[in-house]
C-alpha cells in the first residue's frame, strides 16, 4: 500500500488527507493529523472520498476520452487529443478573427488548483486579449472580496482558525457551519467546551443545527442583515460601546456612517428584522466585548476592557443583491469596536469552495489580475503585462458569470470554454443559462465527470483529472497554501486542467501570434515540473503585494507543509531556492502571518481602514400576494454542490434521501398539505414539481430547498413539454451591483398543490458496476416523455458502517407522477433497467385502472429478500415495501402479497428509522430509544448515548443533530434517577 498526503477537494476549510492506494486504485482515505486545518479529522464527505474514486464509480461516471458532437443533440463520438485540440483551436481562432476576442468567454471553477487558474487567466487576458474569464467563485465569494476591499483595502481574511480558541464571543451570520464547514465547527465545539463562558450569537432565517449551539439566536427575516448590523452599531453609539480612539487613529469615513445608522433605531430594526429590541441590545453588547458587567472607560469614554469577538459568515451574506453592503456593514462593527487585529477577533469569511481563495490570488475573475491587482488600475495592468511579456492587458471589463451567460444567450459571446464547473445546475435562472448554451456556436466542456448536466450541451468534451490524480496547490479560508498531490495515475486519457489549457494555448499562439516566443513555457510531459513552473511564476507576481509569498518555495511546501500568506522573502529567508529541501524548517512552525492588521495599518493609500456607508436595501424580489413565500437555498450535511461526486454514493443520501421543499407546519396546514404531497413551486422565471415536507425550523412564509437538487436528480416536464431544471429554475439572476454576485439566497415563490393522480415508484438493488449507469438511463428515459410532470431519481444504500465496506450495497430509487398513465412500453423499459424483465418476477396489471405492480425476490444465504419493485398507478404500499427492500428484511413469507395494493402491510413491518450517523449506521429511532434510558445533564446523556451506540464518534458531522435530539428529549424524571440510586 502506498500513502500520499494531499488536500480534500470539498469546502474551503482545506482539510489535509492521507490517500491510501494500491497500484492504480485509491483504496482508503484518512485525515492528516499533521495538517493544521483539521488535525486528522474529516467530515462525512471527506471520509468517503475513496469510495467516490473506486473503480466501479470511475468507469461509470468519469469522462475518459475526448468526445465530439457533430450536431447538437447527437451522441458524442470519440476523437484523439490532437484532433480535439485542433478543433478547439480552429473554432476559437475563427471566432476571434471574425468577431474579436470578446466574442469568447471562459467560465472556470473554485475547484481548480491555483496552477490551473493561473494558466487559464493568462490564456484569456494575455494571449487572446479578453477579460471574459470568470469563475463559479462569483457565485460564492465575490461579495466577501468586495466587502474586504471596500473596508480593509485588500481581499485578505484577517483572522485564522486558531482564533476560535481565543474568542469570547462568536457572531455567526449567514452560515450553517455545522453542515457547510463541519470540521471548523468541530473546532468551535472544542473551543466552547474548553471555554464555557464563550457567548455564541447566530443570526439566520432558519434555526439550523449551527443555531442549536447559540446562546442568542436571531431569526432575522431574509435580506435584513444590513439593518441588523446598522441597528447594532446604533446601539453601540448610543451606549458608548464603540472605541473612539481606534476609530480616530486607524479609520476614515465614520461620520458618514454615523449619520446613516442614526435612522436604524432599535424599534425600526426590530420591525424590519423580525426580532426583539432586547435581543438586538444583547447582540450589540456581546459583540462589543461587554458581558453586562461594569467596564472601565478611558478619557474618550470608550470601554477599555473588551472581550474579543470573531465573526464567521458565508453565503447568507454573499449570495445577495446587497452582498457587498452586508459584508461591509459587518466589518464596520469590527472597526467601530476595535475587534480586529488581535487573537480571537476579526471578520472571518468562510470560503465555500476548496480553492476560491487561490483563484482570486491569481486574478482568475473578470475584474481581477494576478496577485490581487485590479483590472481598472493602469499601473497594475502594466505590471502584469511586463511579467507575461505582452504589450498590454485589455482594460475593458470582462463579463462576470451572470453577464457572460446573458451575453451568450443574446448572441454576443459566440464560444464558451467551461472548466470544472456545472452551470447547467449551479447558475441562477436556468432558462437563460440553457438558452446561452444552446445558442453559442461552440461550447467546450473540460470536465472529470461525464454525468454533469452541462456535458449535454457541449460540442467538445475534454476529460480532466480530479482529486487523487492532480498535482499543485490550493489556498483555504485562513490564507493557508496546501499541496495537492498525485496518488494514482489519471484514468483513461484524462489530462490535468492546466496542461490542457497550455496545450490549447500552444496551438492558438500559432494562429494569433505566429513566430513569437511562447507565453506558456511550461512542460506538460512532467506534471510536477510543469505545475511547479506555473506556481513559481505566480509566486513572482506576488512580490511586494499584500499576499506576498516570495518567502515560500515548492520545496518548502513539500517539506514544511501548509503555510499561510503573506510570507515575503524576508520572513523565511529566500524562498527561491527550490533545491534546498534538506535545510528547510519542519512542520513545527508556521512561517507566514496568522493574523493581519495587528499594527492597525491597512493596505490602503493612507494606511487607514474605511467605514462603508451602505443603506439597507430589501431583497431583489419581495414577497407579494402572487408569490407569498421567501425561498432560501442552502447546503445539505452530506452533499456537495451539484453532486457529481457525492451523488455517486447511496450512503450519502441516508441523511436526506430525496429532494423536497420545506415549509413551516402552519403554512402547510393552512394549504391543506401533508408530508410527501407534490407541489408546484413557481417563481417569475420557472416552476418545478417537488415533494413538500414540514420543518419547524423555518419561519412563517418561508421555504427552504437544498441547492444541490439539479435536473440530474430532480426533473419533470412543464405543460409545454420543456424539461424542468431543478431548484435553480426558480432563483433570480439579480446581482449585487458591486460584486456582481447573484441573489441565490432569496427568490419570491408560490407553492400550490400538484394534482397528479398517477404515480410511480421503482426501486432495486443493483450491481455496483452498473448502478450509476442504470440511474442515468432512468433519468434519460424520464426526460423523453413529457407525460411526467415530476420525476426524481436518486441512489440509496443499506448504510452499513463505514468500516464494513464489503457489506455495502447500492440501489436506485425512481419516483414519477403524471396526469395519466404512460404507455406500457415505458413501464416495461423501467422494469427491464432495474432487473424485473425475468421469468421469476411476480406481476400484476390492471390496464383499465392504469395500475401495474412487479416484484422480484432473491435468496441471500438462508434468507429471501425483496430485490426490486415497481408500483405504478397505486403506490400506497410504498411505506412498507420500501422498508422491506431498503432495510433488507426477510420477505420469503410474503409471496404474491407483495402485489396487494394498500398502505397496510399484510404482516407488520418495523422501519429502523432515518440514519443520523451515516458513518456507523445509527438511526433516529435507535437514538430516541436509547435516550429514554439515559439520565443526568445533556452532556452526561450524550456521553451515555455515544458509549452505547457510538454515534458521532467517527467524523462527528452528526454531533449537532445528536445534541439537538438530546435537548429535545429531556432527562429522565428525577424519581427514575432516585429509583436507580436505590
Coil, helix or strand at residue 470: coil
- Per DSSP, which regions of 397-484 are E strands? 415-419, 442-447, 460-463, 472-475, 480-484
Residue 263 vs residues 177, 231, 269, 670, 789: alpha-carbon distances, Å: 32, 9, 9, 37, 49
Query: What whole-number distance in Å separates Cα of residue 552 and Cα of residue 542?
Result: 11
**Ranges under pLDDT 70 in the chain:** 291-304, 572-588, 971-982
Residue 883 vs residues 8, 697, 795: alpha-carbon distances, Å: 34, 27, 15
For residue 971, the model assigns a pLDDT of 67
Residues 796-823 pLDDT 10s: 999 999 989 889 999 999 999 999 999 9
b/e map of 245-281 (b: 16 or more CB within 10 Å)? ebbeebbebbeebbebbeebbbeebbebbbbeeebbb
Query: What whole-number distance in Å separates Cα of residue 148 and Cα of residue 156?
Result: 7
Q: Return the ∠ at Cα 479 (arms to 642 and 645), rounded to 5°.
A: 20
Percentage helix, strand, coil, to 5, in the chain? Answer: 35, 20, 45
For residue 499, the model assigns a pLDDT of 98
| Alpha-carbon dihedral 74, 78, 80, 85, rounded to 10 degrees | 30
Q: Is the peptide bond before 613 cis (omega within 30 degrees of 0)?
A: no
Q: Is 514 exposed, middle or buried (0-12, 13-18, 19+ CB in 10 A)?
A: exposed
Q: Return the ∠ at Cα 517 (arms to 511 and 518), rounded to 5°.
A: 70
Query: What whole-number distance in Å separates Cα of residue 376 and Cα of residue 359?
Result: 18
Query: What whole-number distance in Å separates Cα of residue 472 and Cα of residue 466?
Result: 12
Query: In the block, which residue shows the cell 466589518?
Result: 331
Query: What whole-number distance in Å separates Cα of residue 338 and Cα of residue 247?
Result: 8
Could you give the angle at which helices 527-541 and 497-512 cross, rounded to 10 degrees?
70
Query: What whole-number distance in Å separates Cα of residue 927 and Cα of residue 484?
Result: 39
Tell me the torsion sign for CA atoms 958, 963, 964, 969: positive
Residue 18 phi/psi, 5-degree rounding, is: -115, 115
**Contact (CB, 8 A) for 154 and 603:** yes
**Contact (CB, 8 A) for 436 and 405:** yes
For residue 572, the model assigns a pLDDT of 59
Tell me the chain's radius of gyration from C-alpha atoms: 28
pTM of the model: 0.95
User: What secondary structure, in 3-state letters, does 28-91 show?
Assistant: EEEECCCCCCCCCCCCHHHHCHHHHCCHHHHHHHECCCCEECCCCCCCCEECCHHHHHHHHHHH
- Per DSSP, which regions of 247-370 are E strands? 251-252, 309-313, 346-349, 368-369
Coil, helix or strand at residue 511: helix
- Cβ–Cβ contacts within 10 Å for residue 969, how many? 15
Query: What whole-number distance in Å separates Cα of residue 315 and Cα of residue 206?
Result: 14
Tell me how far the alpha carbon of residue 114 is from its chain's centroid.
18
For residue 487, the model assigns a pLDDT of 98
* CA neighbor of 105 nearest in space, from 75, 69, 135, 84: 135
* CA neighbor of 548 nearest in space, from 382, 386, 373: 373
Query: What whole-number distance in Å separates Cα of residue 393 and Cα of residue 383?
Result: 9
Residue 426 vs residues 135, 363, 442: alpha-carbon distances, Å: 12, 22, 21
The contacts of residue 606 (CB under 8 Å, 6+ apart) are 252
Residues 707-738 pLDDT 10s: 999 999 999 987 777 888 899 999 999 999 99
Residue 852 phi/psi, 5-degree rounding, is: -145, 145
Amino acid at each position: 500500500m502506498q500513502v500520499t498526503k494531499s488536500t480534500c477537494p470539498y469546502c474551503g476549510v482545506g482539510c489535509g488527507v492521507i490517500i491510501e492506494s494500491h497500484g492504480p486504485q485509491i483504496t482508503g482515505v484518512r485525515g492528516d493529523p499533521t495538517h493544521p486545518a483539521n488535525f486528522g479529522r474529516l467530515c462525512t464527505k471527506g471520509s468517503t472520498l475513496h469510495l467516490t474514486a473506486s473503480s466501479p464509480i470511475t468507469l461509470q461516471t468519469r469522462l475518459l476520452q475526448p468526445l465530439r458532437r457533430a450536431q447538437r443533440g447527437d451522441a458524442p463520438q470519440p476523437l484523439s487529443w490532437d484532433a480535439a485540440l485542433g478543433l478547439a483551436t480552429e473554432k476559437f481562432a475563427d471566432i476571434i478573427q471574425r468577431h474579436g476576442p470578446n466574442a469568447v468567454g471562459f467560465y472556470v471553477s473554485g475547484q481548480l488548483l491555483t496552477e490551473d487558474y493561473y494558466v487559464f487567466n493568462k490564456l484569456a487576458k494575455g494571449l487572446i486579449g479578453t477579460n471574459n474569464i470568470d469563475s463559479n467563485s462569483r457565485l460564492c465569494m465575490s461579495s466577501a472580496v468586495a466587502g474586504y476591499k471596500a473596508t480593509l483595502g485588500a481581499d485578505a481574511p484577517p483572522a485564522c482558525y486558531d482564533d476560535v480558541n481565543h474568542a469570547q464571543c462568536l457572531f455567526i451570520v449567514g452560515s450553517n457551519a455545522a453542515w457547510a464547514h463541519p470540521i471548523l465547527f468541530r473546532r468551535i465545539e472544542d473551543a466552547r467546551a474548553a471555554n464555557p463562558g464563550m457567548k455564541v450569537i447566530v443570526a439566520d432565517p432558519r434555526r439550523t443545527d449551527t443555531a442549536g449551539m447559540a446562546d442568542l439566536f436571531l431569526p432575522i427575516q431574509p435580506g435584513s442583515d444590513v439593518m441588523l448590523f446598522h441597528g447594532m452599531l446604533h446601539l453601540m453609539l448610543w451606549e458608548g460601546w464603540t472605541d473612539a480612539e481606534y476609530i480616530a487613529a486607524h479609520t476614515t469615513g465614520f461620520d458618514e456612517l454615523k449619520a446613516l445608522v442614526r435612522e436604524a433605531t432599535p424599534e425600526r430594526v426590530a420591525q424590519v428584522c423580525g426580532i426583539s429590541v432586547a435581543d438586538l441590545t444583547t447582540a450589540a453588547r456581546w459583540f462589543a466585548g461587554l458581558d453586562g458587567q461594569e467596564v472601565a472607560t478611558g478619557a474618550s469614554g470608550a470601554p477599555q476592557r473588551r472581550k474579543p469577538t470573531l465573526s464567521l459568515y458565508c453565503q447568507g451574506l454573499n449570495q445577495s443583491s446587497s452582498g457587498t453592503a452586508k459584508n461591509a456593514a459587518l466589518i464596520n462593527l469590527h472597526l467601530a469596536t476595535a475587534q480586529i487585529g488581535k487573537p480571537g477577533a476579526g471578520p472571518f469569511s468562510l470560503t465555500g469552495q476548496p480553492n476560491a481563495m487561490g483563484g482570486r490570488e491569481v486574478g482568475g475573475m473578470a475584474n481581477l489580475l494576478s496577485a490581487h491587482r485590479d483590472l481598472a488600475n493602469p499601473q497594475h495592468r502594466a505590471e502584469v503585462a511586463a511579467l507575461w511579456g505582452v504589450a498590454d492587458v485589455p482594460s475593458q471589463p470582462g463579463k462576470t458569470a451572470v453577464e457572460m451567460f446573458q451575453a451568450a444567450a443574446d448572441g454576443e459571446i459566440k464560444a464558451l470554454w467551461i472548466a470544472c464547473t456545472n452551470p447547467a445546475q449551479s447558475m441562477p435562472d436556468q432558462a437563460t443559462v440553457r438558452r446561452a448554451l444552446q445558442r453559442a456556436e461552440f461550447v467546450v466542456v473540460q470536465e472529470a465527470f461525464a454525468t454533469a448536466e452541462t456535458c449535454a450541451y457541449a460540442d467538445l468534451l475534454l476529460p480532466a483529472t480530479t482529486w487523487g490524480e492532480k498535482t499543485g496547490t490550493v489556498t483555504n479560508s485562513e490564507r493557508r497554501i496546501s499541496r495537492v498531490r498525485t496518488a494514482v495515475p489519471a484514468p483513461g486519457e484524462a489530462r490535468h486542467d492546466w496542461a490542457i489549457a497550455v496545450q490549447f494555448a500552444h496551438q492558438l499562439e500559432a494562429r494569433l501570434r505566429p513566430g513569437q516566443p511562447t507565453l506558456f513555457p511550461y512542460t506538460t510531459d512532467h506534471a510536477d515540473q510543469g505545475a511547479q513552473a506555473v506556481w513559481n511564476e505566480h509566486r513572482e507576481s506576488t512580490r511586494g503585494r499584500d499576499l506576498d509569498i516570495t518567502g515560500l518555495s515548492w520545496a518548502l511546501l513539500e517539506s514544511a507543509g501548509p503555510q499561510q500568506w503573506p510570507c515575503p522573502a524576508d520572513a523565511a529567508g529566500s524562498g527561491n531556492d527550490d533545491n534546498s529541501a534538506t535545510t528547510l524548517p519542519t512542520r513545527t512552525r508556521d512561517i507566514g502571518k496568522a493574523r493581519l492588521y495587528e499594527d492597525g495599518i491597512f493596505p490602503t493609500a493612507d494606511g487607514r481602514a474605511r467605514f462603508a456607508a451602505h443603506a439597507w436595501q430589501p431583497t431583489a424580489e419581495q414577497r407579494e400576494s402572487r408569490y407569498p413565500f421567501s425561498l432560501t437555498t442552502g447546503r445539505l450535511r452530506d452533499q456537495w454542490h451539484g453532486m457529481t461526486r457525492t451523488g455517486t454514493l447511496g450512503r450519502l443520501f441516508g441523511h436526506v434521501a430525496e429532494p423536497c421543499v420545506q415549509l413551516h407546519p402552519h403554512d402547510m396546514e393552512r394549504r391543506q398539505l401533508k408530508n410527501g404531497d407534490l407541489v408546484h413551486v413557481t417563481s417569475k422565471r420557472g416552476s418545478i414539481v417537488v415533494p413538500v415536507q414540514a420543518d419547524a425550523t423555518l419561519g412563517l412564509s418561508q421555504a427552504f430547498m437544498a441547492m444541490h437538487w439539479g435536473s440530474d436528480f430532480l426533473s419533470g416536464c412543464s405543460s409545454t413539454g420543456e424539461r424542468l431544471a431543478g431548484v435553480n429554475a426558480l432563483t433570480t439572476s439579480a446581482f449585487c451591483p458591486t460584486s456582481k454576485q447573484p441573489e441565490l439566497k432569496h427568490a419570491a415563490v408560490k407553492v400550490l398543490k400538484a394534482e397528479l393522480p398517477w404515480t410511480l415508484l421503482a426501486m432495486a438493488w443493483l450491481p455496483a458496476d452498473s448502478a450509476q449507469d442504470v440511474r442515468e438511463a432512468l433519468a434519460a428515459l424520464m426526460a423523453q416523455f413529457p407525460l411526467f410532470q415530476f420525476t426524481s431519481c436518486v441512489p440509496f444504500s443499506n448504510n452499513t458502517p463505514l468500516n464494513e465496506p464489503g457489506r455495502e450495497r447500492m440501489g436506485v430509487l425512481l419516483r414519477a407522477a403524471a396526469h395519466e398513465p404512460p404507455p406500457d412500453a415505458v413501464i416495461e423499459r423501467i422494469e427491464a433497467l432495474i432487473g424485473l424483465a425475468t421469468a421469476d418476477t411476480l406481476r400484476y396489471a390492471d390496464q383499465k385502472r392504469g395500475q401495474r405492480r412487479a416484484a422480484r425476490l432473491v435468496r441471500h444465504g438462508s434468507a429471501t429478500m425483496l430485490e426490486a419493485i415497481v408500483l405504478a398507478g397505486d403506490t400506497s404500499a410504498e411505506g412498507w415495501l420500501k422498508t422491506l427492500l431498503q432495510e433488507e428484511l426477510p420477505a420469503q413469507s410474503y409471496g404474491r402479497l407483495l402485489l396487494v395494493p394498500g398502505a397496510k402491510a399484510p404482516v407488520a413491518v418495523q422501519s429502523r428509522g432515518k440514519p443520523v450517523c451515516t458513518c456507523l449506521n445509527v438511526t433516529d429511532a435507535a437514538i430516541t430509544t436509547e435516550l429514554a434510558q439515559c439520565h443526568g445533564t445533556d452532556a452526561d446523556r450524550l456521553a451515555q448515548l455515544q458509549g452505547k451506540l457510538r454515534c458521532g464518534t467517527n467524523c462527528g458531522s452528526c454531533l449537532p443533530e445528536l445534541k439537538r435530539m438530546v435537548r429535545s428529549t429531556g432527562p429522565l424524571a428525577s424519581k427514575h434517577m432516585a429509583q436507580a440510586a436505590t
